[in-house]
Structure formats: structure tokens, C-alpha cells
Structure 1
Amino acid sequence: MGCEPDVVTYGTLIQGLCKAGRVEVASRLLRSIQMKGMVLTPQAYNHVIQALLKRKRTKEAMRLFREMEEKSDPPDAISYKIIFRGLCSTGGSIGEAVDFAFEMIERGYIPEFS
């Protein structure tokens, strides 16, 4: 009598791995869940994206954000906020942050600078 973890369980595990600094393991877990055909919540992606940005891995975070747009529920306001703040704080391209701010506005989100 086994029971399979659901997306909430996986999301909690991904969150814990990211908090523990194990972003590589969290990323691999995210990929394996996708391969099983499960659709993760934006929150699960947000944890990995935020962990990547803390390590200044902006390109990977953006790639995962774009992937989230295709493979999960659409990014939420928190997803956009995480990416925007990450672009502004990681020493990345100002142009990229400005372009992303315009994208946010087009999609109905207001960029926050605080």
C-alpha cells in the first residue's frame, strides 16, 4: 500500500532543498517531476528561481522562468517580482531589467523597486 507524492509534497520538498542551499538537487527533482508529466505550481518554480538568483545565476533563473510559462501554471505576481528584483540586484544588465519591467506592465503587474 504505497502512496505517491503529489505536487504539494514535491513543492514542499523543493522549498526545503532550496532553503538548505541544495539548489542543484532541487533543480534535478523539478526536472524529474516534469518528466513524470506532473504540472508543478508556480511556487515550486519560484523557490528554485529565487535560489538561483541568490547565487547570481541569472541566466538559469530566466531560462527556468520562461520554461515555467510553457510547462506549468502561468507565472504569478510573486514570480515576476522575484525575477525583477533579481535582475536589479545581481549586477545584471540594466537593459534586461527595464525590458522585463515593460513585460510585467504588459501582463498587468507593477514592478516594485523596494
Structure 2
Amino acid sequence: MDEAGCVVAKMVESGFSPDCFTYNTMINGYCIAGNLGEAFKMMDEMGRKGKPIDAVTYNTLISVLCKEGKLDEAFDLMTEMEKKKLGPDRYTYTAIIGALTHAGRIEKAKKFMSKLL
């Protein structure tokens, strides 16, 4: 991720502005590396720079929050996603249903599954 960050910094120095795809790639990389704090910082930077935060951004973060058992934070992001009319979509529901099932919250998982159907 350090090297990827350097590439993005050089890109900016050369006059190119990272786009949504670049930001989402960096966010995904930080999530894979287990650095959720940096992933959220990158999302905040997107917003400050006027880049659209899309369903991919939200689903990437929701997915990792679910994998880490941080369901309340995942629900908060899903609510934010809904307010912006970006979803939730099947990727969001899959992550949340999987996390709920893994946490033994079967009834809540069934409720979410019924929304999907």
C-alpha cells in the first residue's frame, strides 16, 4: 500500500487527479491490508475532493466491517448509502446477511433476506 500511495502521489504531482476508480482501488487495498482507518480516511478524502462516493465504495467498507464483526458500523454505512440513494444492493445484503448469520442472528438475517427477495 505504501508503493500504491507513492504512485498516487506522483500522479497528483504530475497534475492528474485521482478518480473514483483510483480511490476505490486504494480503499480496497487498505481493507485487504487490514488498515480500515486508512480506508475511511481515503473515503473522507474523496468527499473533500468532490469525488463521487459510490456503491462500490460503500460495499467495500461494509463488507470488511461485516467480516470484522462490526455490524453496527456496517448498518450505519448502509443507512448513509440509502440516504444517498446508492443502495443497498445484492452485494450489501450478501455481506450483512453473512455477518448476521455468522453472529448467530438468524432472525435478523431472515428479515434482510426477505428485503432482498
Deviation string for 1:44-99 (max 9, x for gaps)?
2222111111211011011111211223633332222111112111x153332222
- The CA RMSD over aligned residues, in Å, is 1.9
Match of 1:95 among 102, 107, 114: 107
> Which range is displaced more, 45-54 or 4-13?
45-54
Q: 1:17 to 1:72 in 2, by over 3 A?
A: farther
Structure 2: segments with no counterpart, 5+ residues? 1-13
Q: Does 1:56 align with 2:39?
A: no
Q: Does 1:70 align with 2:70?
A: no
The count of aligned residue pairs is: 104
- Return the letter of the residue paired with 2:112: F
Match of 1:30 among 20, 26, 43: 43
Q: 1:72 to 1:7 in 2, by over 3 A?
A: farther
Higher fraction of helix: 2
Normalising by structure 1, what TM-score?
0.78
Partner of 1:14: 27
The structural deviation recorded for 1:101 is: 1.6
| Runs of 4+ residues deviating >6 angstroms | none
> Which range is displaced more, 29-38 or 47-56?
29-38
Structure with the bigger RCO (C-alpha within 8 Å, sep 6+) is 1
Structure number with bigger Rg: 2
Normalising by structure 2, what TM-score?
0.76
Identity of aligned residues (%): 34
- Return the letter of the residue paired with 1:46: N
